[in-house]
Structure 1
Amino acid sequence: MADSVISMEKVKAFWNSQIYDEDKWALNAKLLRAAGLFAGSIILMRSYGDLMAI
């Protein structure tokens, strides 16, 4: 198998550094919450946007 530029060990190390470091996890949790709120608002407006029209 050909050597890949990004190995699974590097991906696992990056994942663990983002999850288990409290400072990085706090930022990532804020980003996940913001992305979820954004996606939820899009779904809400697509479903019920016609009811909100004046």
Structure 2
Amino acid sequence: MADSAFSIQYLKDFMNSQIYDEEKWAFNMKLLRAAGLFGGSILLMRNYGDLMAI
């Protein structure tokens, strides 16, 4: 049981270090935007790809 409490605290510390550090936050936002654009383009092509065909 002590191992799970340690891992939860480690996870909290990791998340806080990623959010509150300006350089890491800027990189993470770029990464999130790129992943969102990629996911959105996949959904767009799956739903409306046949309309874009020549």
Deviations 1:22-46 (A, max 9, x none): 0000000000000000000000000
Aligned to 1:14: 14
Deviations 1:1-54 (A, max 9, x none): 3624x6111100000000000000000000000000000000000010000001
Count the aligned residue pairs: 53
1:34 aligns with 2:7: no
Q: CA RMSD in A?
A: 1.3
What percentage of aligned pairs have identical amino acids?
Answer: 75
Query: Which TM-score applies when normalising by structure 2?
Result: 0.90
Distance 1:27 1:19 in 2: 10
Q: Which has the higher helix share?
A: 2
Q: Note the residue ranges of structure 1 that are not aligned, 5 or more in a row.
A: none
What code does the residue aligned with 2:33 have?
R
